[in-house]
Structure 1
Amino acid sequence: MELTETTYSPLRTSNLAIGYSRGSRLNVVQQHLDLELLSGEMVCMIGPNGCGKSTLLRTLAGLQRPITGSILVDGKNMETLSAQDRAESLALTLTDRVEVDKMSVYEIVAMGRYPYTNRFGRLTEEDRTIVAEALAQVHLEEKAQRYISELSDGERQRAMIAKVLAQSTPLLFFDEPTAHLDLPNRVSIMLLLAQLAKTTGKSILLSTHELELAMQVADKLWLMSDRGVQVGTTDQLIADGSFENVFRSNQFSFNAETGRFIINKPS
């Protein structure tokens, strides 16, 4: 996707290093990261366990500080943004399942408007319109008054997507949005997010273990390994051998011609 007059980059990183501390020891997970997200683009972060997907997502969302380097959100350094500015710039949904009994779907989605409500948390007519639009975008308007606990896992995840849509931010981050879901719902959620990126113009970044789904629906992939982050389309990363190198194993192999992983069955 080329940067044009109607496509801008609401998020960029420059020489970013991420990691965490263990006592007095600093553990650098990834470094020298120059990344960007474009408007209307869905990017999937994929890679082996322990490569830093969740750490990168949490760092980009401002939940933990970078070790070095900078994160620019709409051209402004993340570390200079107030909590209010961050809430109006990006929304994040983590892997944890929502376990509440007596909240309706509407009330859950309306929580996305809290950065904009007054100190009493009252919704304006504009807020209610935005919540209704978010519910419609994920096809849950008919279940708005149902308790969230009464929904299927797939419907719950769509409700959480509606919540971040209601937050009205240009950046949407998801950590394993298809966790806990069966195959039909995993496909449905991935297709929904890809469609929302196109129809809303928002930038969507998600981490996932759904390699083949990500390869088929993402506009771009961030392929992470202990050697860094490689950025490209599925075709580009197949052609340069990146998938084969990152996911090399004696239990399975990657077929560049078909773009599929093949399990090596015992003879």
Structure 2
Amino acid sequence: MERVLETNNLCLGYNKDIYREISAFASRGEIIAVVGPNGIGKSTLLKSLSGIQSFRSGEILVDGKQISSYSHSRLAEKISFVPSQSPRARNLSLFDMVATGCYNRTNWLGQVGPQEREFVIGTLERVGLSGFENRDSSRLSDGEFQRATIARALVQESKIIFLDEPTAFLDIENKLTITKLLSDIAHEESRSVIFSTHDLQLAIRHCDRIWIMGRESFSHGTPEELIEKGAFDTMFKDSPLKFDRNLYTFV
């Protein structure tokens, strides 16, 4: 498959290193989960890969080119980013909220044209929010609002979508709904979807590949490959927690 993203010896950090030697890739049309303990640097990794945050050393290639070679507008055509918590603006309709993802295709007044409007409406239907266009976005449920943020990323029409813990704070039904939606987007629309999560069971059951940010090393591969070589045990080094291969979780 076509590689749309690649990292080589990537080192994350601000004034000092917080995580080192990340070498991995993402191909078109696959969904990837990033897992690891709290504070390991999952959010920092996604922000660095999105071009939002700088990195210490190494390289990030987007479509074979250094990420630093892209202008902000050009990079927005390649990458979209959904943060773990998006602010809710009162009196902003769901349509207008999602339409902000079309910012690079608006007229000089910042308005979307008929074609973009139809695209936004179709995208809302795609994420299960048809008929919600005029609803106050601040009054959506947590699950509905998360689907709205995904819709906003979709209308940006980027090849790669990064999401920082998109299923956090959701009940099991909404977690499954969001994860299934992301999987469908990757496979049906040939996009690369990369998201961080603490839910190993969902990641193993629904993702094509997983990136593990362990305490001492970074691993990546298919769920089956990682389970076979015991890679999940590196997540919590020197801990009594052990990965159960049958339950797909730590016990």
Q: Same fold (TM over 0.5)?
A: yes
Are residues 102 and 28 of structure 1, via their aligned partners in 2, closer, same or farther at CA, if it must alter by over 3 Å? same
Are 1:9 and 2:3 an aligned pair? yes
Counterpart residue identity of residue 107, structure 1: D
Q: TM-score, normalised by structure 1?
A: 0.89
Per-residue CA deviation, residues 57-92 of structure 1 (Å, 9 max, x unaligned), is: 010011111211221111221111111111111110
Q: 2:197 aligns with which of 204, 208, 229?
A: 208
Deviation at 1:218, TM superposition (A): 0.7
Corresponding residue for residue 55 of structure 1: 44
Partner of 1:261: 249
Q: 1:66 aligns with which of 43, 55, 69?
A: 55
Cα deviation for residue 192 of structure 1 reads 0.9
Partner of 1:225: 214
Residue 142 of structure 1: aligned partner: 131
Secondary structure class of the residue paired with 2:242: strand
Change (3 A) 1:202 1:262: closer
Give the structure-2-normalised TM-score: 0.94
Contact (CA 8 Å) 1:91, 1:171: kept in 2 or not?
A: yes
RMSD across aligned positions (CA): 1.5
Question: Which of the numbers 93, 115, 119 marks the counterpart of 2:104?
Answer: 115
Distance 2:82 2:142 in 1: 15
Matches of 2:218 and 2:22, distance apart in 1:
7
Name which of 30, 54, 59 aligns with 1:41. 30
Q: Is the 8 A contact 1:40 1:202 kept in 2?
A: yes
Match of 1:175 among 153, 159, 164: 164
Deviations 1:192-240 (A, max 9, x none): 1011111111100001111111111111000111323201111111110
How far apart, in 2, do the equivalents of 1:237 and 1:209 lie? 16
SS in 1 for 2:218: strand
SS class of match (2:3): coil
CA–CA separation in structure 2 for the residues paired with 1:68 and 1:57: 15
Residue 188 (structure 1) aligned with residue 168 (structure 2): no
Change over 3 Å in CA distance of 1:210–1:262 after alignment to 2: closer
Structure 2 letter corresponding to 1:222: W
- Residue aligned with 2:193, SS: strand
Could you give the per-residue CA deviations for residues 121-180 of structure 1, whole angstroms, max 9, x where no partner exists?
121222112212211110111111111122211011001100000000001000010122
The aligned counterpart of 1:24 is none
CA distance in 2, matches of 1:57, 1:145: 32
Q: How many residues align?
A: 250
> How far apart, CA to CA, are the structure 2 residues paired with 1:126 and 1:75?
31
- Residues 40, 200 of structure 1: 8 Å contact kept: yes
Residue 79 in 1 paired to residue 79 in 2? no
Residue 101 of structure 1: CA displacement? 1.5
Structure number with greater Rg is 1
Q: Distance between the aligned counterparts of 2:219 and 2:249, measured in 1?
A: 19
Q: 2:234 aligns with which of 225, 233, 245?
A: 245
DSSP 3-state at the match of 2:84: coil
Tell me which residue corresponds to 2:80: 91
What one-letter code is carried by the residue in structure 1 that aligns with 2:13? G
SS in 2 for 1:114: helix
In the alignment, the residues of structure 2 paired with residue 171 and residue 116 of structure 1 have an alpha-carbon distance, to the nearest angstrom, of 18
1:16 aligned partner, one-letter code: L
Calculate percent identity across the aligned residue pairs: 36
Q: Output the amino acid matched with 2:108.
A: R
Rounded to whole Å, the distance in 1 between the matches of 2:116 and 2:171 is 33
